């Protein structure tokens, strides 16, 4: 039963002069540089690598509907309907604030009846709606054709189609009006496109 003598642990011996040197201790700042700093390598995002939900193949009916909705005819029809509604609302609004609605030049002191005012508002609304519908359809169809021809979707499509639409509308009143319409409509289209993008 005599206790064994406890031997003290020997200190680590220094490396031999010709041997390999131990690696330097890992510093916290170096680790951060590799994790969130400039030396971090971003991983490519691949949804399929995470086991995403596989989408079923599209049927022929779905493809046909998508092609129809992306066609120039559908876009022109949609713009025509939107222009008709917007133009009708604008016409009714301008007729509502116009003091000459129902005005009779033969009897300037006569107050127009509500029926006359509503009739004039309806006529002006229909007139504005037709004009807006034609302009909207022309612009949308022209922009779609220009985009298909160029193969790009940028602000130049709006400017070119605006110039064509404005010129076509203005040429009915002459060459000068056509040039002014082309420039004005192109500038307006560029401003709207810049604001929306």
Residue pLDDT tens, the chain, 197 long: 555 555 554 555 555 555 566 655 556 666 667 666 666 666 555 555 555 566 677 777 888 888 888 888 888 899 999 999 999 999 888 887 776 766 667 777 777 777 887 888 888 899 999 999 999 999 998 988 888 888 888 888 888 999 999 999 888 888 888 899 899 988 988 888 888 76
The answer to whether residue 145 sits within a structural domain is: yes
The answer to whether residue 37 sits within a structural domain is: no
How far is Cα 44 from Cα 76, in angstroms, rounded to an integer?
Answer: 40
Helices (H), 6-151: 28-35, 60-69, 72-97, 114-150
Q: Please indicate, yes or no, whether residues 144 and 124 belong to a single structural domain of this protein.
A: yes
Q: Please indicate, yes or no, whether residues 169 and 93 belong to a single structural domain of this protein.
A: no
The answer to whether residue 53 sits within a structural domain is: no
Each residue's pLDDT tens digit, 43-79: 555 555 555 566 677 777 888 888 888 888 888 899 9
Nearest one of 78, 64, 62, 66 to 144, comparing CA atoms: 78
Instruction: Give the residue numbers spanning the domain of 147.
Output: 63-152
How many CB atoms neighbour CB 52 within 10 A? Answer: 9
pLDDT at 156 (0 to 100): 85
End-to-end CA distance of the chain: 92
How many CB atoms neighbour CB 122 within 10 A? Answer: 14
Q: Please indicate, yes or no, whether residues 147 and 69 belong to a single structural domain of this protein.
A: yes
The answer to whether residue 104 sits within a structural domain is: yes
Q: Please indicate, yes or no, whether residues 123 and 135 belong to a single structural domain of this protein.
A: yes
The answer to whether residue 36 sits within a structural domain is: no
pLDDT at 43 (0 to 100): 59
Please count the structural domains in the chain.
2
pLDDT at 4 (0 to 100): 57
């Amino acid at each position: 039963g005599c206790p064994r003598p406890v031997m003290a642990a020997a200190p680590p011996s220094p490396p031999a002069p010709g041997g390999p040197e131990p690696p330097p201790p890992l510093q916290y700042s170096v680790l951060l540089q590799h994790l969130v700093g400039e030396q971090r390598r971003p991983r490519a995002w691949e949804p399929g690598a995470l086991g995403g939900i596989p989408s079923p193949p599209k049927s022929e009916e779905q493809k046909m509907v998508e092609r129809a909705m992306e066609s120039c005819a559908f876009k022109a029809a949609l713009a025509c309907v939107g222009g008709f509604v917007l133009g009708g609302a604008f016409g009714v609004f301008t007729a509502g604030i116009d003091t000459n609605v129902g005005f009779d030049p033969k009897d300037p002191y006569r107050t127009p009846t509500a029926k006359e005012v509503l009739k004039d508002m309806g006529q002006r609304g229909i007139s504005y709606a037709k004009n807006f519908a034609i302009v909207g359809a022309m612009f949308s169809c022209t922009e779609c054709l220009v985009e298909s021809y160029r193969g790009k979707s940028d602000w130049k499509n709006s400017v070119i189609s605006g110039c064509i639409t404005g010129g076509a509308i203005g040429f009915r009143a002459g060459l000068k009006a056509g040039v002014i319409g082309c420039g004005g409509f192109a500038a307006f289209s560029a401003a709207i496109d810049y604001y929306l993008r």
